[in-house]
Amino acid sequence: MGELFARMRRSPQGLLGMILVATMLVIAITGPWIAPYDPETFAPLLRYKPPTFEHWMGTDQYGRDILSRLLVGARSTVLMAMLASALGTLAGALIGTTSAYLGGRADEAIMRTIDAVMSIPSLLMALLIVTLLGKSSVNALFAIGIAFTPGMARVTRSVALAVRKQDYVSAAIARGESARYIVWREMLPNVVAPIIVEMTIRVAFAVMLFATLSFLGLGAQPPKPEWGLMVSESRKYMGQSPWMILWPSLSIATVAIGFNLLGDGLRDALNPRT
C-alpha cells in the first residue's frame, strides 16, 4: 500500500488527483462544522450579495451563504457519488466474475442481458429508475448504482476471463471448492486492481449524474444544499448574480477532474510495467 502511494506521487496527474480528492473528502467530512453560517437559514436582507468579506462567495436568492451551502452540500454530493459508484462496482464485479466463472451458455445469457441493459443510456436509465422509485437522494443513489452495473460487469468479465484460465482456479475446482468460494476468494481478489481504476473514474461520472438528476428535480429536494440542485435553482438569477451558479458548477467540475486524475494515476501506479 505504501509503495502504491509512492508510485502515485511520482506521476503529476496522480499527485494532483490525490490532493484534489483528499481536499474534497476533508470538506465532505468536516464541512458542517467549519461552515460559517447555517446553510438553510433565510436572510431576506442579504439577498444576491456579491462576494464580500463576510460572505466569501456571496449569497443566494434567499440570502443564504453560498460557501456554507457548498461545504455542507459536499457530503451529499461527493459521498453519495462514491457510494453509488461503489454499489455499481460491487454488483458489476460480482456479476462479471460469476459470468466468467460459469462460462458457456450461462455466460452467454448473462452477458447478452447486460448488453440489452447497456443499450439504454445511463442517464435515461437513472431517470427511469428514479421515476419508478420516487424522487429522493437515496433512490438517486440506487438509480446510479444500477445504471453503472452493466458497464462494470463487462470490464470485470474481460479481466476475470483471463483469471479463470489460471491454474489456481483449476486447482480449486479439482479440489471441489464451492462456486461461491472460487468467485469470492480465488477470482475477485485478482480482478480488483483494474476495477478500482474503473471505479475511481466512474465517481466523476456519478458526481455529474447526481448533479444532473438534482438539476432535473429528481434527486435531492429543496432546500437541501446539494450542488446540482444549487446550480438548478440559481439558473434563473444567472443574469443578475452570476457567482450563484459559478461556485457550485466549479465545485462539481473540480471533483470530476480530481477523480479522473486520480483514476489515471492509479492506472499507471497499478500497472507494474510503467
Partner 1 sequence: MSILSVDDYSLDYAVPAGLRRALDGVSLHIDRGEVLGLVGESGSGKTSLAWAIMRYLPESAKESGRIALGSQPLTGATPGEIAAIRGKRIGMVFQDPGTSLNPTLTLGAQLSEVLVLHRGLAKKEAETEGEALLARVGLRNPAAMMRRYPHEASGGEKQRVVIATAFACQPELILFDEPTTALDVITARQILDLFAELQEETHVASLYISHDLAVVSAIANRVAVIHRGHIVETGPIGDVFARPRDSYTKMLLEAVPRPGHRIVATQPDAQSAPLLAADRIGVTYGRKSFVSSLLGRAQERFAGNREVSLTIRPGEILGIVGESGSGKSTLAKALTGLNPFTGEIRFGGRAIANLRAMDEAYRRDVQIIFQNPDSSLNPRQRVREILSRPLALYGETKGGKTRDVIAGLLEQVRLPAEFADRFPHQLSGGEKQRVAIARAFASNPKLVICDEITSSLDVSVQAAVIALLVELQRIHGTSYLFITHDLNLVRQIAHRIAVMYRGALVELIDVSRLPEGAVNGYTRELLAAVPAPLSARA
- Tell me the closest approach of the beta carbon of residue 104 to partner 1, in angstroms: 7
Q: In whole angstroms, give the CA distance from residue 128 to residue 72.
A: 28
Q: Where are the alpha helices (DSSP H) in 103-187?
A: 104-118, 122-133, 137-164, 167-175, 179-181
> Nearest Cα to 77, choosing from 272, 230, 199, 193?
230
Distance of CA 106 to the CA centre of its chain: 30
Interacting residue with partner 1 among 22, 34, 41, 168 (CB under 8 A):
168
Whether residue 205 contacts residue 259, with contact meaning beta carbons closer than 8 Å, is answered with no
40 touching partner 1, by CB under 8 A? no
Interacting residue with partner 1 among 2, 44, 104, 239 (CB under 8 A):
104
Considering only residues 214 to 273 of the shown chain, the ones binding partner 1 according to CB under 8 A are: none
53 touching partner 1, by CB under 8 A? no
Interacting residue with partner 1 among 26, 34, 133, 171 (CB under 8 A):
171
82 touching partner 1, by CB under 8 A? no
Interacting residue with partner 1 among 50, 189, 222, 242 (CB under 8 A):
189
- Tell me the closest approach of the beta carbon of residue 105 to partner 1, in angstroms: 9
CB neighbourhood size of 147 (10 A): 26
Interacting residue with partner 1 among 173, 179, 238, 253 (CB under 8 A):
173
> Nearest Cα to 180, choosing from 93, 113, 94?
94
Phi, psi of 59 (to 5 degrees): -130, 165
- Tell me the closest approach of the beta carbon of residue 231 to partner 1, in angstroms: 43
> Nearest Cα to 262, choosing from 202, 220, 190?
202
134 touching partner 1, by CB under 8 A? no
Whether residue 273 contacts residue 7, with contact meaning beta carbons closer than 8 Å, is answered with no
AA identity, residue 249: S
Of 132 and 174, which has the nearer Cβ to partner 1?
A: 174
- Tell me the closest approach of the beta carbon of residue 272 to partner 1, in angstroms: 11
Interacting residue with partner 1 among 60, 65, 186, 264 (CB under 8 A):
186
45 touching partner 1, by CB under 8 A? no
H or E element: which one contains 31? helix 12-34
- Which residues are at the interface with partner 1 (CB under 8 A)? 104, 166-168, 170-177, 185-186, 189-190
